[in-house]
Structure 1
Amino acid sequence: MSLPPPAKDQAYCDVSALDAGNINMLLGQLVDVAVGDEMTDLPVLSFLLRHSRTGDILLFDLGIRPDVENYSAGALELTRKMGMTLQGRDIPAALERGGVSRADVKRVVLSHIHFDHTGYPRAFPNATFILANGALKIIEEKGPVYDNSFYAVDVPLERTVFVNPELEVPASPAMKEEWAPLGPFPRALDLYGDGSLYLVDAPGHIPGHLNALARTSADGGWVYLGADSAHDWRLLTGEAGIGCHHVWGCVHEDRGKAEETIERMKVLAGTPRVRVLLGHDKPFVKEGKGYWPDRIESL
């Protein structure tokens, strides 16, 4: 398995993590090694990417909004029933403490539209939002209340592009899309057209789930942002399988496809100079390095 080699004067992205909240939830929904109704604290991460050539700033996910009471009624009711507790973060304030204004953010990619990844999009007045077509279908059919689900999203549709890994008619035809194989993944989109950042079709969790693969140096380093393709590193090491809680079931809507995506992530994780990070990455958080305004060290 190989990834695209660097070109001459290769563009790349500096990548920084952002503390985007915390969830206390049932571990048995995530991994099959949980005992009974064991609970777990999950950190929530967002990521800031700065393009080396243009200086463009992109955010990958927005975490949990600070005013959690303003999430969709469906998400709030389901979290209450399941005994979840949530802590949100003010992402724009965190950016500004590091010297970046919310107005400087050019693009926001939402990996999917679960509440702990969508934050408060309208806080970014100049950003174009990028989601996948699967998210558009959910928004049109189930929004804005999203009964009995974790869905919650409030993007300004006039500034939102819905990309289309399935290669049907694009929902946003103004955006040129050429999805092609990348490493172990069947479909990826070269977002800037220069090999610095790819959006990766990562099915299984919910419709429209995206990951990202960012080149982190001009000579061959990478970071893979796995969002909710895996909630726990034990799914990648083989120490656990996907969980299915006896009452609430599994967090993945298509377990078979989720397992396929995890297998592809395992291949990528074994590739030299590739760092894999999860949206709820406990080992990364424990290490405590690479948070904005610092950057994640390139391998």
Structure 2
Amino acid sequence: MTDPDVARPSLLTCCQALAGLPLGAVHPRRPDRRFLASLTDHGLPTAGATVEVITLPQRERMVPTPAIAEGVWRPGRTANLINAFVVRHPKATFLVDPGVCADVIARAVSELPWLLRVAVTPRHDVIDIRQALALAGIADADIDFALPTHLHWDHVAGLLDLPGLPVHLHRPEHAWMTGRRLAPHGGVRPALRDRPVTLYDLDGPPILTFPHSLDLFGDRSVILVGLPGHTPASIGILAQTDSGPILLAGDAVWSRIQVDRFRQKATYPGMLADAERDAAWETLHRLHAVRHQITIVPSHDHGGR
């Protein structure tokens, strides 16, 4: 039975997404050079500590590269992951984008609109979050809280298997989820139900090309920045590591190809996944402008850390 409280793309949106795929492959969206030139780089503050960022193990799923980014034909297929990360700070260890739960296809993916399921259904042997932590030698009890970059199924479904784990959420992202009759699909609300939630705002100064920030621990080692578009209030996590600054960018982009070649997501499945395509395009401009200063790690990019 269809859940009336789950968001569904319209038939028109589905048709536009499919029709736009070949068009975008041949005529990708052109960068807004005026907007790019208007961006101010506010630089990076000096961090008072460093953190360790651990990429949890996951299995690859090969997808056609033209379904990742417009106007990109090679390589013909790109490895796609559902990455989760653990960040170790002297004050806390936290889980970024808790990934997927056991039996995720039945418990979360089955809620997705059928056209989106075709594009995003993971492998049946996808590694769930508790397996991933165990394979990395990290006990559940070592995790102090979870910090999703945004509230989509493949970034929070793992919380279904981590009951009671506190979650830190960007306040407007939480409002987007709870303040509408239509929820994000894929079991997002159940994943956040009955657990401690700490809401935060990005009320700090500009960092690099990002207009708002939050210094999570007060020592500039972990700074949250706004990356809106994929969801209305997606964030990125800028971490200062021993090897330099990295930005865990969530789904602001799906691949480094987008940042390096300045390409927006392909319309299918991009139009079914992005909440605000124009805002996502602006965010890509901000990422492209700082690509040589920080290592940008999209959640689904096999070329991450």
Give the TM-score taking structure 1 as reference length: 0.74
2:290 matched to 1:268? yes
Read off the aligned partner of 1:105 and give its amino acid letter.
I
How many Å separate the matches in 2 of 1:182 and 1:91?
A: 31
2:238 matched to 1:213? yes
Q: Provide the residue aligned with 2:95 in structure 1.
A: 59
How many Å separate the matches in 2 of 1:76 and 1:20?
A: 24
Structure 2: runs of 5 or more not aligned:
1-40
* CA offset digits 1:138-172 (Å, max 9, x no partner): 432457x848x45634124541123233xxxxxxx
CA contact (8 A) 1:197 1:213 kept: yes
Q: Aligned pair count? A: 258
Percentage of matched positions with identical amino acids: 22
SS at match of 1:253: coil
Per the TM alignment, residue 62 of structure 1 is displaced from its structure 2 partner at its CA by 1.4
Relative to its length, the structure with more helix (as a share) is: 2
* CA offset digits 1:187-235 (Å, max 9, x no partner): 1111111111111111111122111001113xx8211111111112221
Relative to its length, the structure with more strand (as a share) is: 1
Read off the aligned partner of 2:46 and give its amino acid letter.
P
2:45 matched to 1:4? yes
Read off the aligned partner of 1:210 and give its amino acid letter.
I
Per the TM alignment, residue 117 of structure 1 is displaced from its structure 2 partner at its CA by 1.1
* CA offset digits 1:62-100 (Å, max 9, x no partner): 1222311111753264544x3543133222233234432
Distance 1:30 1:250, change over 3 A: farther
SS at match of 2:273: coil
Per the TM alignment, residue 14 of structure 1 is displaced from its structure 2 partner at its CA by 0.6
How many Å separate the matches in 2 of 1:18 and 1:242?
A: 25
CA contact (8 A) 1:214 1:224 kept: yes
How many Å separate the matches in 2 of 1:127 and 1:115?
A: 17
2:128 matched to 1:90? yes
Per the TM alignment, residue 44 of structure 1 is displaced from its structure 2 partner at its CA by 1.6
Per the TM alignment, residue 42 of structure 1 is displaced from its structure 2 partner at its CA by 1.6
* CA offset digits 1:113-141 (Å, max 9, x no partner): 11111132143356320122333234324
SS at match of 2:174: helix
Q: Provide the residue aligned with 1:296 in structure 2.
A: none
CA RMSD of aligned residues (A): 3.0
CA contact (8 A) 2:164 2:195 kept: no
Distance 1:95 1:109, change over 3 A: same
SS at match of 1:236: helix
SS at match of 1:135: helix
How many Å separate the matches in 1 of 2:55 and 2:146?
A: 14
Read off the aligned partner of 1:4 and give its amino acid letter.
P
Q: How does 1:1-299 map to 2 (within 5 A)?
A: 1=41, 2-6=43-47, 10-20=48-58, 22=60, 30-33=68-71, 41-51=79-89, 53-54=90-91, 56-68=92-104, 69-71=106-108, 74-75=111-112, 77=114, 79-80=116-117, 82=118, 84-87=120-123, 88-125=126-163, 127-141=165-179, 146=183, 149=185, 152-153=188-189, 154-165=191-202, 178-217=203-242, 221-238=244-261, 240-245=263-268, 249=271, 251-271=273-293, 274-284=294-304
How many Å separate the matches in 2 of 1:21 and 1:134?
A: 32
**Superposition misfits of 4+ residues, deviation over 4 angstroms:** 20-29, 38-41
How many Å separate the matches in 2 of 1:89 and 1:19?
A: 8
SS at match of 2:85: strand
Read off the aligned partner of 1:244 and give its amino acid letter.
T
Q: Provide the residue aligned with 1:297 in structure 2.
A: none
Per mean C-alpha deviation after superposition, the further-off stretch among 121-130 and 181-190 is 121-130
Read off the aligned partner of 2:292 and give its amino acid letter.
G
CA contact (8 A) 1:23 1:84 kept: no
Distance 1:73 1:137, change over 3 A: farther
How many Å separate the matches in 2 of 1:226 and 1:108?
A: 16
